[in-house]
Structure 1
Amino acid sequence: MKENTNKSLFQRFLNGIERVGNKLPDPFILFIALALIIIIASSIFSMFNASVVHPGSGEELPIKSLASGEGIQYILSSMLDNFTGFAPLGLVLAMMLGIGLSEKVGLLDYAIRKTIMKSPPALITYTVVFVGIMGNLASDAAMVLIPPLAAMVFYKVGRHPLAGLVAGYAATGAGFTANLFIAGTDVLLAGISTEAAAIIDDSITVTPVDNWYFNIVSVFVITIVGGLITDKFIEPRLGKYKGGSVEAALEEDHPKAGKGFRNAVIAGLAYIALIVIAIFIPNSPLRGEGGTIVPSPFLDGIVPIILIFFVVIGVTYGITIGKIKSSKDVSGYMAESMKDMAGYIVLIFAIAQFVNYFSWSNIGTWVAVNGADFLKEVNFTGIWLIIGYILFTAALNFLITSGSAKWALEAPVFIPMFMQLGYSPAFTQAAYRVADSSTNIVTPLMPYMVIILAFMQKYDKKAGIGTFISLMIPYSAAFLLTWIILILIFFYAGIPFGPGVTPFL
Structure 2
Amino acid sequence: MLFVYLSILIAAVSAVAGWLGASVVHPGTGKQVMIHSILSGEGLTYVVTSALKNFVEFPPLPLVVVLMLGIGLAQQVGLIEAVLRRALAGVKPRYVTLTVMLVGIISHLASDASALIVPPLAAMVFLKMGRHPLAGLAAGFAATGAAFTANFVITSTDVLLSGITTAAAGIVAPGTTVSPLANYFFMPASAVMLAVVGTIVTEKIIEPRLGTYTPDPDDDAESPAAEPALNGKALRNAGITAVLYLLAVAIVTAVPGSPLRNPETGGLLKSPLLEGIVPILLMFFVSTAIAYGVTARTITSTSDIPALMSKSIKELSGFLVLIFVAAQAIAWFTWSNLGLLLAVHGAALLKSLGIGGILGLVGFSLLTAALSLVIASGSALWSLEAPTFVPMFMLQGVNPAYVQAAYRIADSSTNMMVPLSPYIAILLGFIQRYDKKARLGTLFSLMLPYTAAFYASWLLFFVVWPALGIPIGPGETFHIGR
TM-score normalised by L of structure 2: 0.97
Identity %: 49
Alignment match, 2:465: 490
How many Å separate the matches in 2 of 1:274 and 1:230?
Answer: 41
More deviation in 319-328 or 298-307? Answer: 319-328
Determine the structure 1 residue equivalent to 2:302. 327
- Counterpart CA distance in 1 for 2:9 and 2:370 is 23
Residue 291 of structure 1 aligns to a residue in which SS? coil
* 2:200 alignment partner, one of 228, 236, 239: 228
Residues 416-438 of structure 1: CA distance to partner in whole angstroms, max 9, x if unpaired? 00001111111100000001111
Q: Is the counterpart of residue 249 in structure 1 residue 223 in structure 2?
A: yes
Q: CA deviation at 1:108?
A: 0.2
User: Could you tell me how far apart the structure 2 residues matched to 1:417 and 1:74 are?
Assistant: 25
2: CA distance between counterparts of 1:252 and 1:329?
26
Query: What secondary structure, in the 3-state scheme, does the structure 2 residue paired with 1:285 have?
Result: coil
Alignment of 1:57-456 (within 5 A): 57-245=29-217, 246-247=219-220, 248-250=222-224, 252-253=227-228, 257-288=231-262, 289-456=264-431
Question: Residues 156-201 of structure 1, C-alpha deviation per residue, up to 9 Å, x if partnerless?
Answer: 2111111011110011013432111100000000000000000010
Give 2:473's aligned amino acid: G
Matched residue type, 2:94: A
d(CA) in 1 for partners of 2:90, 2:312 = 29
For structure 1, list consecutive stretches of 5 or more residues without a partner in the other structure. Answer: 1-28
Runs of at least 5 residues in structure 2 that lack an aligned partner in the other structure: none
Amino acid across the alignment from 2:64: V
Deviation at 1:323, TM superposition (A): 1.4
SS in 2 for 1:119: coil
The AA in structure 2 aligned to 1:401 is A
Paired residue type of 2:143: A
Alignment of 1:37-52 (within 5 A): 37-52=9-24
Structural RMSD (CA):
1.1
CA–CA distance in structure 2, aligned partners of residues 117 and 464 of structure 1: 30
Q: Per-residue deviation at 1:372?
A: 0.3
1:181 counterpart letter in structure 2? V
1:294-319 per-position Cα deviation (integer Å, ceiling 9, x unaligned): 01111110000001000010010001
CA distance in 1, matches of 2:131, 2:216: 12
Q: Is the 8 A contact 2:362 2:459 kept in 1?
A: yes
Cα deviation, 1:354-374, whole Å, max 9, x if unaligned, reads: 010000000000000000001
Say whether the 8 Å CA contact 1:137–1:184 is kept in structure 2.
Answer: yes
Look up the match of 1:22.
none
Partner SS state of residue 61, structure 1:
strand
> Deviations 1:254-276 (Å, cap 9, x if unpaired)?
57x21011100110110000001
Q: Distance in 2 between matches of 1:151 and 1:346?
A: 35
Check the 8 A contact 1:104/1:337 in 2, yes or no.
yes
Residue 382 of structure 1, CA deviation? 3.4
Q: What is the identity, as a one-letter code, of the residue corresponding to 1:429?
A: Q
Looking at structure 2, the residues matched to 174 and 215 of structure 1 have their Cα atoms a distance apart, in angstroms, of 14
2-side partners of 1:82 and 1:133: how far apart?
34
Once residues 105 and 313 of structure 1 are traced to their aligned partners in structure 2, the CA distance between those partners, rounded to angstroms, is 10
Match of 2:303, SS? helix
Deviation of 1:445 after TM superposition, in Å, equals 1.9
Distance 1:128 1:207 in 2: 30
CA distance in 1, matches of 2:357, 2:260: 37
Letter matched to residue 53 of structure 1: V
- Whichever residue aligns with residue 173 of structure 1, its letter is G
Match of 2:440 among 438, 446, 465: 465
Give the aligned partner of residue 25 of structure 1: none
Q: CA deviation at 1:252?
A: 4.4
Contact residue 357 and residue 398 of structure 2 kept, 8 A: no
Deviation at 1:336, TM superposition (A): 0.5
In structure 2, the partner of 1:7 is none
